[in-house]
């Protein structure tokens, strides 16, 4: 959404990021409700991530506000971060299954590695939350594909549907806090947000119907290529 707003409609990068964050918080909330009803949210992991990401997001907003007050143009930083996150996300989307298979095979062959991961992954999850809080607040990207990829790496034996549900449960409060932070510093366009919701909510429903009928082997490369092209487009 953010690169389309910036490159396609000429929206100010800070406004695009802030508005997209609130849009994401609203549109993802329904997914959390569904996963909670299905029992596919691990709230312990979600809270671990949030304990790092929420304070990091608030701190990032305070820093961006200071930059704004000092007259420092931080939009280039936002666009570079967004470009990096889009390119990384495209790689994750394309390679996720291969990466997950390799990790599970490695853990099965090396018991000591698995034991070390079990002992330290709570701390790693917290640190991953801090990283996501900073990156998502700056770029609006990362709470979805990157967040789920991190959880797949740290919790490879957890069912995929539980990874998705847990990632969504963390993404909603993170994007909401980051979005309201951007609103506080004046980088959210409410009229733009309403327009996105009016168009986006019906499109999400119809898109989900179409997506169910599209083979994953076809859909994933298409999504990865779109993300990669947007990321490269922002970098130049």
Q: What is the pLDDT of residues 118-142, one digit of tens each?
A: 678 889 999 999 999 999 999 988 7
Q: What is the mean pLDDT of residues 210-224?
A: 78
Predicted confidence (pLDDT) at residue 26 exceeds the cutoff of 60: yes
Considering only residues 69 and 44, tell me which one the structure prediction assigns the higher pLDDT. 44
Task: Summarize pLDDT for 175-198 with one digit per residue, the tens.
Answer: 999 999 999 999 999 999 999 999
- The band of 55, judged by pLDDT with boundaries at 50, 70 and 90, is very high
Predicted pLDDT of residue 100: 67
Considering only residues 145 and 27, tell me which one the structure prediction assigns the higher pLDDT. 27
Beta carbons of 27 and 204 less than 8 angstroms apart: yes
Predicted confidence (pLDDT) at residue 170 exceeds the cutoff of 90: yes
Pick from 5, 29, 30: which is nearest to 18 by CA? Answer: 5
Pick from 109, 96, 110, 121: which is nearest to 219 by CA? Answer: 96
What mean pLDDT value characterizes the chain?
86
**Which region among 156-165, 169-178, 183-192 has the lowest average model confidence (pLDDT)?**
156-165
Considering only residues 114 and 232, tell me which one the structure prediction assigns the higher pLDDT. 232
Predicted pLDDT of residue 46: 95
User: What does the DSSP 8-state code read for residue 140?
Assistant: S
Top-ranked range on mean pLDDT: pick from 18-27, 96-105, 111-120 = 18-27
Predicted confidence (pLDDT) at residue 111 exceeds the cutoff of 70: no
* Token pair for 198: 């009016």
**Which region among 161-165, 174-178, 202-206, 210-214 has the lowest average model confidence (pLDDT)?**
210-214
Predicted pLDDT of residue 103: 64
Pick from 91, 87, 94, 95: which is nearest to 135 by CA? Answer: 87
Q: Percentage of the chain surpassing pLDDT 70?
A: 91
User: What does the DSSP 8-state code read for residue 4?
Assistant: I
* Token pair for 86: 């889009």
Predicted pLDDT of residue 184: 92
Contacts of 15 (CB under 8 A, 6+ apart): 5, 187, 188, 189, 192
If you search the block for the tokens 């019906």, which residue do you land on? 202
């Amino acid at each position: 959404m953010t690169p389309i707003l910036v490159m396609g409609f000429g929206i100010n990068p800070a406004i695009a990021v802030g508005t997209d964050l609130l849009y994401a918080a609203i549109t993802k909330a329904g997914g959390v409700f569904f996963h909670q009803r299905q029992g596919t949210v691990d709230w312990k992991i979600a809270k671990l991530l949030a304990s790092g990401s929420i304070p990091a997001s608030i701190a990032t907003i305070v820093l961006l506000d200071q930059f704004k007050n000092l007259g420092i143009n931080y939009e280039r930083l936002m666009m570079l971060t967004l470009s990096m996150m889009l390119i990384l996300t495209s790689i994750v989307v394309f390679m996720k299954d291969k990466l997950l298979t390799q990790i599970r095979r490695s853990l099965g062959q090396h018991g000591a590695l698995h034991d070390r991961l079990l002992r330290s992954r709570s701390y790693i999850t917290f640190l991953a939350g801090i990283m996501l809080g900073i990156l998502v607040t700056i770029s609006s990207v990362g709470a979805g594909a990157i967040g789920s990829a991190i959880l797949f790496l740290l919790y490879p034996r957890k069912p995929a549907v539980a990874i998705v549900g847990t990632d969504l449960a963390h993404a909603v409060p993170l994007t909401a806090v980051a979005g309201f932070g951007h609103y506080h510093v004046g980088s959210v366009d409410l009229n733009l947000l309403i327009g996105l919701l009016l168009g986006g909510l019906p499109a999400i429903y119809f898109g989900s119907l179409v997506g169910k009928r599209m083979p994953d082997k076809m859909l994933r490369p298409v999504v990865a290529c779109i993300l990669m092209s947007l990321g490269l487009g922002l970098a130049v």
